[in-house]
Amino acid sequence: MLAIKRFTVNDMIAECVTDQKQPVFSFALESDQQDVVLEVATLKMGNWQRKVNTQIGIKYNGPELVPFTEYKVLLEVIDNHGETATASLTFETGRLGTPFQAKWITNGSYHFTERKTSPKPMHFKRQFSCQKEVVKARLYTTALGIYEAKLNGEKIGADYFAPGFTSYKNQLQYQTYNVTDQLKESNELFFTVAGGWAVGAFTYARRNRVYAKRQALFCELHIEFEDGSKEIIASDETFSVTMNGHIKEAEFYNGEVYDATVNMDDSHWEKATLEQVKIKPEILAQYGLPVRAKEKFKPITHYKAKSGMWIYDFGQNFAGVVAAKIKGKKGQKIIFKHAEILMEGELFTEPLRSAKQESVYICEEGQQTYSPTMTYMGFRYVGVTGIDPENLELTARALYSNVDETGYFECSNDLLNQLQSNIKWGTKSNFVDIPTDCPQRDERMGWTGDIALFASTASFNFNTRRFYDKWLLDVQKEQNRGGGIPVTVPLVRVPFQWEIMIPMAVDHWGDACILVPWAEYLTRGDVSLLKQMYPTMKKYVKACKFWAELFSVGKHRRIWRLLHHYGDWVAPEGGLWTWMGRGKWTATASLANTTNLLAQIAEILEKPDDAKYYKKLSEETSAAYRSLLMDKDCRVKKEFQTAYVLPLHYKMLNRGDASKAASHLARMIKENSYHIGTGFPGTPYVLFALADNGYIDEAYKMLLTDTRPSWLFQIKAGATTIWERWDALREDGTSNTGADDGTNGMVSFNHFANGAVGDFMYRRIAGIEPIEGGYKTFKIEPILGGGLTYAKAEVETAYGKVKSHWTLKDDKFSIDIHVPVGTTCNLTLPNGKSYVVTSGHYQFQEDREVIENEC
């Protein structure tokens, strides 16, 4: 039987509200037969009908959509066996450019001028009545700052930190909430607007008022009554505002101060003032994913520390907030402090730098609950003062962008399974509206290099489509005129972010504009993202080329030295200057890789001249690396692992040279007792560089090494997320806090970057690798080693589930695979035999190949 598994509009199954004129439909199919492909699909919406034979990226091309309207879409499919299936979905249009009646409002008497701090939260309210029966009501809201909306005392929606973080000067999301059932005869709309990213202190330089001098609110409530009449309540001077609410202070880094004793009716309310907002963003219906409360944690233990603080251990490091049930006395002050690790039984807060990560709650009398709404922390441990455990039931909630989990990996080695869990938690903790570097200290910024190198791993484990698309729009808009991509996006200028002054291009960091869309294209298969990003990519590569060529002649024009590189960032040896000193190698390799990818993208987009141009550029750059940065024997003078890893993985060397370079890499690694020696750029690829060049055993040995520096040392040391530094903790329990290596005290226990090894687990251990976008064709080619006796991986692709489950028993290899409808799998068994397999569920054994359909 044929079934439609996942029918989406703009990648959403339900609740999509869009301002896109041409929403995009996709669907996955499932069948109990083998060899199934789509024959034809018909999409119908009102009088519009479109027949296609593709499953992804189908654009609506019918009559112009009408604002504020619900549309129902029917999908009928027929496969090559004549079987049929149907499905439907609904979506709603947003404003589609309808001018707002809303005006920006603020508290005009609040002048927030302090530097390096965050403003006091503002509270707005508006009362109104509904005399007639309501049939439809929608609230459209945004803010400069972050907001939470309530109607008649009840939270509207489930989002945190709306409207989300975008490059506000370019684009600002508004949220649409269906409040039909929440309206009564007499109503009160209530909003809290904290400083958030737009006004609050942000970046380690604690810049504030980046986008606005104080918070502002912008909203419209549209009500439709049974008799057909309509009413719009728009933000204007009829709203009241006060600074005297429950939430006294709110900031991402420092936390929240909540006073439950405040009676808001007694607060001093004044008329809201119209605000002159300086920026002029395009205000668009939410196109990213909202941040939501996800997993709930109960403490695994708690104890009284010497300091007198009650310490609760949640067993997992994550980004989120506490949720407390409290029996308190009026005025009792409870402080919740957060940390990722303990030192000598106390919270270790040194890595937080200037971030306080603290929630303060002032009780009313009796039973009450509290959970912060305007901040989040990165923590595993919470230290509580001001209350004893018998009066406190403490839980915690993970907060992150609402990404669905799409990947699953498990194998016979429990340490690797814990590594996979750490990789997933590293992702969740740093997918907080934008891809951040870390969730705890005074950064939490959109560092481009971290996600550039991690994007592919994240796309195995999560459906990253809306998350990446949203951020990439900012990348595109923040690109400077010379083509450089800021090292943090959205751009909040920090000292020495020189790209403001000159068209800065930074290898691997700026590569995000190519590596992230490329990872997303391979996973999702929709060329429209490549098309959209193509001009950005071209401009960026032009900037890289400019810097490489500046003050150089001949072949040296392809060696990219200038101007600023992070190089082999956070490699185990040396500090900032050692890492950055390797910039010439990392940058030249980056240029060879991005130009090579651009050549492939140009081919996909049918631009043969461009493809030729970039291919040549890539070849010249590779040749320059080979002849100028390596000796005759392919040896790098001052050897470091990344200098071999990059040219190998980026396929910059011919076969003979690759084998020489791989032997140097393998030698170095052996001499280093299989310890890792790479920084951010080399880490994702080091195991590929070994395994794909004949050093499978060495790759497994490195992966399974459990002394420092290595991935599994972290696991043995009790890590539940991925560390920023290989020696964030040392064997003796001390931490490398980076106090004296030029990084200004940089150590985090929750950075996803080094978790990019997850790619190797899916692509080589389980063997699953996309070849054509969206896994239209893909391969399964597991490589055995490391004493593993089984591995199971599943990836929910755009076409459906790809599965590779293998076992090795008494030297007999067997594998279960699943190939989704509409796709083709190139299966290669460890004995080298290969098969081309179309959709279905199959089992293969190495010595006697049995092919059977099990469904």
What are the residue numbers of the active site?
443, 724
* Cβ nearer to ligand BGC, comparing 535 with 742: 742
Name the site residues for ligand BGC (rule: CB under 6 A): 437-438, 443, 447, 449-450, 566, 569, 746, 751
Q: How far is the CB of 706 from ligand BGC (least distance, A)?
A: 24
The CA–CA distances, whole Å, from 122 to 188, 247, 361, 371 equal: 16, 9, 18, 19
78 three-class SS? strand
CA atoms within 13 A on the CB side of 521: 23
Per DSSP, the residues of 188-246 read EEEEEEE-HHHHS-BTTTTB--SS-SS-EEEEEEEEEETTS-EEEEESSTTSEEES-SS
Handedness of CA 396, 400, 406, 409 (dihedral sign): negative
The CA–CA distances, whole Å, from 786 to 193, 286, 645, 828 equal: 53, 46, 21, 19
* Cβ nearer to ligand BGC, comparing 569 with 685: 569
Helix spans in 582-636 (H)? 583-604, 608-628
Handedness of CA 353, 357, 362, 366 (dihedral sign): negative
Q: How far is the CB of 448 from ligand BGC (least distance, A)?
A: 8
Q: How far apart are CA 165 and CA 197, in angstroms?
A: 7
CB 119, CB 110: distance < 8 Å: yes
Q: How far is the CB of 700 from ligand BGC (least distance, A)?
A: 28
Q: How far apart are CA 219 and CA 236, in angstroms?
A: 9
CB atoms near residue 303 (< 10 Å): 11
CB 16, CB 92: distance < 8 Å: yes
* Cβ nearer to ligand BGC, comparing 569 with 844: 569
Q: How far is the CB of 486 from ligand BGC (least distance, A)?
A: 12
Helix (H) or strand (E) holding 815: strand 812-819
* Token pair listed for 569: 């960032």
Handedness of CA 574, 580, 584, 587 (dihedral sign): positive
Rg of the chain over CA atoms, in angstroms? Answer: 28
φ/ψ (deg, to 5) at 708: -75, 140
Q: How far is the CB of 468 from ligand BGC (least distance, A)?
A: 18
Owner of token pair 């959970």? 371
Q: How far apart are CA 55 and CA 464, in angstroms?
A: 18
CB 256, CB 262: distance < 8 Å: no
Owner of token pair 């080399």? 682
Angle at 764 between CA 595 and CA 807, to 5 degrees: 165
What residues contact 96, with CB distance under 8 A and at least 6 apart? 19, 21, 65, 66, 67
* Cβ nearer to ligand BGC, comparing 465 with 751: 751
Query: What residues form DSSP beta bridges with 526?
Result: none
* Cβ nearer to ligand BGC, comparing 496 with 551: 496
* Cβ nearer to ligand BGC, comparing 437 with 796: 437
CB 166, CB 282: distance < 8 Å: no
* Cβ nearer to ligand BGC, comparing 57 with 490: 490
* Cβ nearer to ligand BGC, comparing 437 with 469: 437
Q: How far is the CB of 724 from ligand BGC (least distance, A)?
A: 6
* Cβ nearer to ligand BGC, comparing 24 with 502: 502
Q: How far is the CB of 512 from ligand BGC (least distance, A)?
A: 11
